[in-house]
A = this chain, B = another copy of it.
Amino acid sequence: MTDPDPKLVSRDRLIQAAIEIFAENGFDATTTRMLADKARVNLSAIPYYFRSKEGLYQAAVEHIADVLGERLQPFVQRLADLSGKGLDRKTARSLIGEGLATMIAVMCGDPDTLPFSKIIFREQMAPTAAFDLIYPRIMERVLKAFATLIAAATGESDQRQCDLQAVLFVGQVMIFRAGRATAVRRLGMEGYTASEIAEIQDIIQSRAMAVLDFMAANKS
């Protein structure tokens, strides 16, 4: 994919390269030689800066958590502000739609963030120590935000119900990343072009609205 910016110092070039390569091949199939080549750095720079291959992996995941956390911040902030003033149903619904569309773009479209989600997915399927770096800063914040929005959008007061639905709302999106091979093949897609992403965003949003209507009408 993209080669690391040659202006960056070795340490940063290694992190850049690590994100790409680990995303593509996973931890085990990645060799330190691949990493050094991609970063245009000497092999010994890895143990020098990061102590080991695993140290580099963890630094890469930490970087992902930093970047995604920062991108998440405005959304969470906006939600906190609105919650203080009492969040009306219409606003909550539109924020849910907006959040879902953004997530699809991040996970399926944007070539800068796509490797992030690949790594996060691998961590979810087979968590390592790095999962603890990412869960509280990303997953938990997103899921809590969605639970709040769902409650506000439907009037559902059962917290458990909102938490479960939040997992399903977010999960809905993730399936196009985790089940990409199947989805693309079955739907005859080329692999998430702009118009294919629009189609996915569209159906996920309308589905979400259907569920919100149903929840509002059938509170537990």
Q: What residues make up the interface of A, taking CB atoms closer than 8 Å to B?
A: 26, 28-29, 118, 121-127, 131, 135, 139-140, 143, 161, 163-168, 171-172, 174-176, 178-183, 185-187, 199, 203-204, 206-207, 210-211, 213-215
Contact = CB atoms under 8 A, between A and B. Distances in A.
Nearest to A131: B181
Contacts of A122: 125
A126 B126 CA distance: 14
The 5 closest A-B pairs by CB, nearest first: A171-B175, A210-B214, A28-B28, A178-B178, A28-B29
Contact of A125 (B121, B185, B204): B121
A143 B164 CA distance: 25
Nearest to A123: B181
A186 B143 contact: yes
Is chain A's interface secondary structure helix, strand, loop, or mixed overall? Answer: helix
The residue in A121, A165, A182 that gathers the most chain B C-beta atoms within 10 A of its C-beta is A182
Give how many copies assemble into the complex: 2
Given A124-B179, A167-B179, A167-B183, 18 more contacts: A118-B125, A122-B125, A123-B181, A131-B181, A135-B181, A139-B186, A140-B185, A143-B182, A143-B186, A165-B207, A167-B182, A168-B172, A168-B203, A171-B171, A171-B175, A174-B175, A175-B178, A214-B214
Nearest to A200: B164
12 contacts: A26-B26, A26-B28, A121-B178, A124-B181, A139-B186, A143-B182, A163-B187, A167-B186, A171-B172, A178-B178, A178-B179, A207-B214
A214 B168 CA distance: 17
Contacts of A121: 125, 178
A213 B217 CA distance: 13
A130 to B, nearest CB: 11
Contact of A175 (B168, B186, B204, B210): B168
Nearest to A183: B167
Contacts of A206: 214
A115 to B, nearest CB: 13
A30 to B, nearest CB: 9
